[in-house]
């Protein structure tokens, strides 16, 4: 038993050294857990940020000034006042994403609207070439202007407050900062992708370089060869995950981890057990790196899309939700978010631990069976 463990250990060290000499894979590993995570967190905010806006204020009343003052950073840049005839040219030049036009006598018409039977209108010009920011920003502007007008109307009617006041409180991310969520989501996704790639590519590399025959000529069992590749590549991804979590997610992005870091890393180890075994299984079914890449995309895309990281499980079709329980990524995403954002302890996330362990054992058994079959074919 000790001799087998020693052989697995030294074979794993050989895997780590061979990965160090693979410059392309090493660069991919560094990029995935550094620049890729940072860009995902800060680039895909899903919210309006620092948008340029101009105002044509032809009313110059207290209400129009209040409407302009409601457009505040960080969602919007300080509004710039322009003349009515400049709006089209400024938008054509790409200077402003939004131009808000407040007509003359807007406040007076609003006060007299019930009696006159008509209401004033505000025109919002939108540069829809920046589609996502334009769509989100238009909704922000509509809500801001609506709130200011409602506040003005309530003040004139002497209403101290509404009969019922709804107060929303956001749990676990009070400021609704997308960076807090997206950084962790990106890190989880790269753990999945890199662990499958490294483990599978390690076996494919042995076959393509002809070194698998050398291993088969040694007194090594298929289990020892597979176990060495699993622990070595899992250790590399675990080390990269730890550094990325501490230096990038917590350091550069400022994400506060509510739960235990050791618990998160322990769950990551169990998850890596299943994903590296999956990578080995895919590699035994492929004969070349090109075939492995095709199988990888067929497997990894459903794992990522149905994991609950990008869209909640409840938002997926009812008939599909039970099948997501068969994906290790779903259990890991639920575990990681519970620990990092909600501060959950082991007594809460033990079902995910158990599910990941069982899936890892199953995938390891399948990969070993397929690996033995491929070894027999090699011999």
| Cβ burial 246-267 (10 Å sphere, 16+ → b, else e) | eebbbeebebebebbeebbebb
Residues 55 and 76: beta-carbon distance below 8 Å: no
For helices 2-21 and 178-209, the axis angle rounded to 10 degrees is 100
C-alpha 1/C-alpha 11 separation (Å) is: 15
176: left (phi over 0), alpha (psi -120 to 50) or beta: left
For residue 160, the model assigns a pLDDT of 42
Classify 218 as helix, strand or coil. Answer: coil
CATH code matching the domain that covers 53-156, chosen among 3.40.1710.10, 3.40.50.10490, 3.40.50.720, 3.40.50.150: 3.40.1710.10
8 A C-beta contact, residue 253 and residue 245:
no
Residue spans per domain, the chain: 2-44+176-378, 53-156
pLDDT of residue 162: 45
Q: Give the Cα separation of 208 and 112 in Å (integer).
A: 82
Cα-flanking dihedrals φ and ψ of residue 22, to 5°? -90, 95
CB 190 within 8 A of CB 333: no
pTM reported for the whole predicted model = 0.74
Distance CA 258, CA 338 (A): 9
With beta carbons less than 8 A apart as the criterion, state whether 149 and 63 touch.
yes
Tens of pLDDT, residues 259-289: 899 999 999 999 999 999 999 889 888 888 8
User: What is the H or E stretch that residue 35 is in?
Assistant: helix 35-43
DSSP strand E in the chain: where? 53-57, 80-81, 98-102, 123-126
- Phi (first) and psi of residue 168, to 5 degrees: -100, 135
Low-confidence ranges of the chain (pLDDT < 50): 158-164
- Residue 214: the pLDDT is 66
pLDDT digits 0-9 by tens, 94-134: 889 899 999 998 888 888 765 555 568 888 988 877 677 77
Alpha carbons within 13 A on the beta-carbon side of 137? 29
- At 161 the pLDDT is 44
Question: Which residues lie below 8 Å from residue 93, measured CB to CB, with a gap of 6+?
Answer: none
């Amino acid at each position: 038993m000790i001799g087998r463990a020693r052989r697995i250990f030294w074979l794993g060290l050989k895997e780590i050294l061979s990965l160090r000499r693979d410059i392309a894979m090493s660069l991919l590993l560094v990029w995935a857990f550094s620049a890729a995570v940072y860009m995902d967190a800060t680039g895909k905010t899903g919210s309006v940020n620092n948008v340029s806006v101009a105002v044509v204020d032809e009313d110059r009343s207290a209400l129009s000034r209040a409407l302009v003052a409601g457009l505040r950073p960080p969602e919007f840049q300080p509004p710039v006042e322009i003349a009515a005839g400049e709006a089209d040219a400024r938008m054509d030049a790409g200077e402003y994403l939004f131009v808000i036009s407040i007509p003359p006598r807007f406040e007076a018409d609003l006060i007299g609207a019930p009696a006159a039977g008509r209401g004033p209108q505000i025109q919002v010009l939108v540069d829809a070439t920046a589609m996502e920011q334009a769509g989100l920003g238009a909704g922000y502007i509509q809500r801001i202007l609506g709130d200011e007008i409602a506040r003005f109307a309530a003040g004139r009617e002497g209403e101290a407050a509404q009969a019922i006041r709804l107060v929303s409180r956001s749990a676990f991310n009070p400021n609704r900062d997308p960076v807090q969520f997206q950084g962790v989501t990106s890190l989880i996704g790269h753990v999945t992708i890199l662990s499958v790639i490294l483990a599978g590519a390690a076996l494919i590399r042995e076959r393509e370089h002809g070194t698998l025959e050398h291993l088969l000529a040694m007194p090594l069992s298929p289990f020892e060869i597979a176990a060495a590749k699993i622990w070595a590549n899992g250790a590399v991804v675990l080390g990269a995950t730890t550094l990325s979590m501490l230096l990038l997610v917590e350091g550069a992005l400022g994400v506060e981890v509510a739960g235990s870091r050791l618990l998160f890393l322990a769950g990551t180890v169990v998850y890596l057990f299943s994903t590296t075994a999956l990578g080995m299984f895919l590699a035994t079914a492929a004969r070349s790196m090109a075939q492995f890449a095709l199988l990888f995309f067929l497997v990894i895309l459903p794992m990522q899309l149905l994991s609950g990281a990008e869209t909640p499980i409840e938002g997926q079709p009812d008939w599909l939700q039970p099948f997501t329980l068969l994906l290790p990524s779903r259990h890991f995403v639920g575990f990681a978010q519970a620990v990092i954002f909600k501060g959950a302890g082991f007594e809460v996330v033990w079902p995910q631990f158990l599910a990941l362990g069982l899936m890892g054992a199953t995938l390891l058994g399948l990969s070993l069976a397929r690996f033995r079959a491929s070894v027999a074919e090699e011999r």
